[in-house]
Amino acid sequence: MSGTRQRRMLAGRGRRLWMLPILLLITGESPGAPVPWHMPSAKCRIRLERAAQAVWPAPAGHAQISLGTLDPGRCAVSVYAADGAKVRSQILFAAEGETVGLLFDTASPYQGSTYYVYLEGGAAEPAAPPLGGLVVETRRCQPAGLKDANTAWQAWAKAGPTLGRTPAKLIFHGANPHGADANFMTLFSGWFKVEKDGEYEFAVLASGPAFLRVNNELIAQRPVDAVAGRGSRGQYAGKARLKAGRHKIEMLTEHARGEWLAEVAWKTPEDKYLKLMPERAFEPVARFQALDFETPPQTPAQIYFDWQIADHSIFEGLMLVEIKFRALPEVAGSQWRWNFQDGGSSSESSPTHVYLSPGQRRVELEWQGPSGNRASLSQVVSVRPDWSLPHEWLDKSFARHKQLLLRQGLAAATPEDLANLVRLCDKVNERDLMAQAAVVCLARQQEFDARQGDVFYLLGFHFEDPQIRKYQEAELAWRVACRLGAPTIRAKAFLRLGQFQVEVAGQSTEALKTLATVDKTRLTEAEARQCGLLVGDALLLQGKVEEARAAYAKAGALINEISRAQSMRNRARLESARAHVERQDYDVAEDLLKRVEWEEPLERLSVESGLTRIRIFLERKEYPKAITRSLQLLQVVVVDTQRADLLYLLAEARLGMGQKEEAGKTLQKLADEHPYSEAAAKARDKYGVTATPKKRR
């Protein structure tokens, strides 16, 4: 062997030997070496690995794990480093339906990235809190006003239940990370470090009573009777002489209602002014994640799954919650079957699921291994927002949730979930999801009850929308709302059904019967007035012009005196509506015309404004409404040119509906009765319709 080659081999071996300690440092164990089972009594163990983006080095680590079938109130958790040394650990927060927050020491001589969590049932060992990190805990309370520190800590000891306990990066919060927005106490506790000996000044900034201790000594306080506001100028401050190193810090606050704020500022010996105590001043907590799940040797196969609330979309109390699930162990050739207890399912090992409403769901997972062995696991999952997120609604989040839901499908969703989705879609004007939910709701209407009656009321508007125009479904939705809804919803639904029968179906007799059943005591003043106007519309459709006029007069004008100014205003609105029609702003144009007819009901007899509305209906392909409005105005028109225009538009609407025979008769009537009109000329040029030759005597 040549000397050069030998030197290269030795150099390569040297590099490999040099890299081995690095590999051991990263993994915590030699590659492929079996890790001894440190706790014979444990039912299972979870392998934790430090996350790629975790802050390191850090004195403490944090992980969220699932307890499986173990009782959160009676579960012993022990953490071991990969070298076999047991480390201090404590459960931060455990509750049914929640993953468990686990904090453990990472400041031991072992500095690898691998730790093992052993789980067993029974009474938990006394907590051994790690000496590192910063934690925020929230508890329910009945605020009584805290005048001094002793009273504050006594109140904290009595407060409960605990709403949550999680790591914090610094003491600077404007929203409770554990959900409650009123009647709670919050304790920030942990460790910070200073680089130099000296005098340090601390100040609290809070929306309510707040008390700050450093090394168990009260430094600053804002009692309930404080007169200097929140303390934005450092009014609630105190000083402490500290040695270089690490120190304990605690800040306790009480909040009743309204905006919540909790902040600690400080001034180091080098600073001239108080400033926010920065994140780097507090000891960091490294994030770990579960990467493997094991059971003791010679035991039946078991599986594990955990979950993370990834995002949410909240609007006026309605919400979608996105949860990422993950199953372990990851074995090639495995088959998974998830049941999310909302009608949804998945065969992925780590699916993402969007829930349509909050609450507790029992999620079931079935597994089949490559050799045919099977296991199953069922756990309660709390579906809730992630209150630590800085937002309730983001358009991009909702867009992602929408795509996930369209892919999931809604066919098997529960009635309550469907109802919440319909309500949300109505509020945010989301049509794609609404369309899918609407089909499912109508197909499964018998599964709904009075609690969801309002949903079909909303669906009626959806189906009748100019861009949807599913009139049969709209009528069905109104009728279901009339049957299912609570008394107020039923009254409103009967009103809308009557309006549908007049404007869309052209069923004047049925409309009058429906409107007569409306319980006006359940309507608003505007809705009751609309009911009277619809009676007039139905009478007009029957040709009872004077009775219709009387009904409009009974409803009354909103403007008591029809002045010249009001007349000019209506004329301006009409001209503006026509201009918007020319620009194809049909919705704006219709709103202007509706406003005129609402303020002065007798304008509903105006052919001039009526012709514009008919043209809007035709442009939006609302042919039934165009037919009804044309038939109504033919009862009152007296000007020949306007009558010819109405006949032409009526024929166009009937052709749009596919009523060719009726349209042909209307066009022939136009040609016979108004042969020299512009409308007749258009009919002749477009459809070849000419006047019937008169018989010679």
Q: Are 40 and 296 a contacting pair, CB within 8 Å?
A: yes
Tell me what pLDDT residue 32 has: 52
Cis peptide before 269 (omega within 30 of 0): no
Strand pairing partners for 193? Answer: 246
Q: Which residue has the higher pLDDT, 121 or 490?
A: 490
Tell me what pLDDT residue 584 has: 94
Query: Which tens digits make up the pLDDT trace of 390-406?
Result: 899 999 999 999 999 99
Q: List the one residue out of 430, 433, 425, 497 whose CA is nearest residue 455.
A: 425
Residues 123 and 117: their CA atoms lie apart, in Å, by: 16
Query: Which tens digits make up the pLDDT trace of 150-183?
Result: 999 999 999 999 999 999 999 999 888 998 889 9
Residues 508 and 537: their CA atoms lie apart, in Å, by: 8
Tell me what pLDDT residue 696 has: 61
- Nearest 5°: the CA angle 536, 489, 315 is 120
Q: 134-283: which CATH number, 2.40.33.20, 3.30.930.10, 3.90.1300.10, 2.60.120.1560?
A: 2.60.120.1560
- Nearest 5°: the CA angle 69, 90, 155 is 105
Q: At what angle do helices 660-673 and 678-687 cross, to 10 degrees?
A: 140
Helix (H, G, I), strand (E, B) or coil at 327: strand
pLDDT for residue 692 is more than 90 = no
Helix (H, G, I), strand (E, B) or coil at 234: coil
Residue 90 dihedral angles phi and psi, to the nearest 5°: -155, 150
Cis peptide before 278 (omega within 30 of 0): no
Query: Which tens digits make up the pLDDT trace of 588-598?
Result: 999 999 999 99
3-state secondary structure 78-116: EEEECCCCEECEEEEECCCCCCEEEEEECCCCCCCCEEE
Tell me what pLDDT residue 183 has: 94
Identify the helix (H) or strand (E) that includes residue 644: helix 640-656
Cα 230 to the center of its chain, rounded Å: 32
Residue 396 dihedral angles phi and psi, to the nearest 5°: -70, -35
CA torsion angle for 388, 390, 393, 395 (degrees, to 10)? -120
Q: List the one residue out of 649, 648, 651, 650 whose CA is nearest residue 675.
A: 648
Listed in sequence order, the residues at least 6 apart from 300 whose beta carbon sits closer than 8 Å to its beta carbon are: 375
CATH homologous superfamily of 300-396: Immunoglobulins (2.60.40.10)
Q: Are 82 and 112 a contacting pair, CB within 8 Å?
A: yes
Tell me what pLDDT residue 231 has: 85
Average pLDDT on 654-666 reads 96
Average pLDDT on 376-382 reads 96
Structure tokens belonging to residue 457: 């009321």
Q: Are 119 and 37 a contacting pair, CB within 8 Å?
A: no
Task: State the CB neighbour count (10 A cutoff) for residue 657.
Answer: 15
Structure tokens belonging to residue 419: 């109802």
pLDDT for residue 523 is more than 80 = yes
Listed in sequence order, the residues at least 6 apart from 98 whose beta carbon sits closer than 8 Å to its beta carbon are: 72, 382
Tell me what pLDDT residue 277 has: 97
β-bridge pairing 245-255 and 100-105: unpaired
Query: Which tens digits make up the pLDDT trace of 39-90?
Result: 888 989 999 999 999 999 999 999 999 999 888 888 889 999 999 999 999 9
Cis peptide before 370 (omega within 30 of 0): no
Tell me what pLDDT residue 414 has: 95
Tell me what pLDDT residue 126 has: 65
CATH class of the 43-131 domain in this structure: mainly beta
Tell me what pLDDT residue 87 has: 93
pLDDT for residue 275 is more than 80 = yes
pLDDT for residue 241 is more than 90 = yes
Tell me what pLDDT residue 27 has: 39
Query: Domain residue spans in the chain?
Result: 43-131, 134-283, 300-396, 397-545, 557-636
Tell me what pLDDT residue 230 has: 86
Listed in sequence order, the residues at least 6 apart from 250 whose beta carbon sits closer than 8 Å to its beta carbon are: 187, 188, 189, 212, 213, 214, 216
pTM of the model: 0.86
Question: Distance from first CA to last CA of the chain, Å, rounded?
Answer: 130
Q: List the one residue out of 166, 67, 64, 165 whose CA is nearest residue 122.
A: 67
Question: Is the fold of 43-131 the same as that of 134-283?
Answer: no
163-184 exposure pattern, b = at least 16 Cβ within 10 A, e = fewer: bbbbbbebbbbeebbbebeeeb
Query: Which tens digits make up the pLDDT trace of 603-644?
Result: 999 999 999 999 999 999 999 999 999 999 999 999 999 999
Tell me what pLDDT residue 1 has: 41
Query: Which tens digits make up the pLDDT trace of 184-198?
Result: 999 999 999 999 999
> E-strand spans in 295-368?
304-315, 318-328, 335-339, 345-346, 352-355, 359-368
Residues 291 and 115: their CA atoms lie apart, in Å, by: 10
pLDDT, the chain, mean:
90
Q: Are 425 and 457 a contacting pair, CB within 8 Å?
A: no
C-alpha atoms less than 13 angstroms from C-alpha of 75 in its C-beta half-sphere: 24
CATH class of the 557-636 domain in this structure: mainly alpha
Identify the helix (H) or strand (E) that includes residue 44: strand 44-50
% of residues, the chain, pLDDT over 70: 93
pLDDT for residue 368 is more than 90 = yes
Radius of gyration of the chain (CA): 37
Query: Which tens digits make up the pLDDT trace of 461-474?
Result: 999 999 999 999 99
In terms of Cβ atoms closer than 10 Å to its own Cβ (0-12, 13-18, 19+), residue 691 is middle
Q: Are 471 and 624 a contacting pair, CB within 8 Å?
A: yes
Q: Sign of torsion, CA 64 70 72 73?
A: negative
Q: Are 235 and 228 a contacting pair, CB within 8 Å?
A: yes
Tell me what pLDDT residue 20 has: 32
Tell me what pLDDT residue 300 has: 86
Q: List the one residue out of 128, 126, 88, 92 whose CA is nearest residue 108.
A: 88
pLDDT for residue 677 is more than 60 = yes
Q: Are 200 and 211 a contacting pair, CB within 8 Å?
A: no
Residues 65 and 99: their CA atoms lie apart, in Å, by: 5
Listed in sequence order, the residues at least 6 apart from 692 whose beta carbon sits closer than 8 Å to its beta carbon are: 668, 671, 672
DSSP string, 550-561: HHHHHH--SSSS
Least confident range of 111-115, 296-300, 477-481, 650-654: 296-300
Would you identify the CATH topology of the domain 397-545?
Answer: 1.25.40
Residue written as token pair 């493997």:
292
Q: Are 408 and 354 a contacting pair, CB within 8 Å?
A: yes
pLDDT for residue 31 is more than 80 = no
pLDDT for residue 229 is more than 90 = no
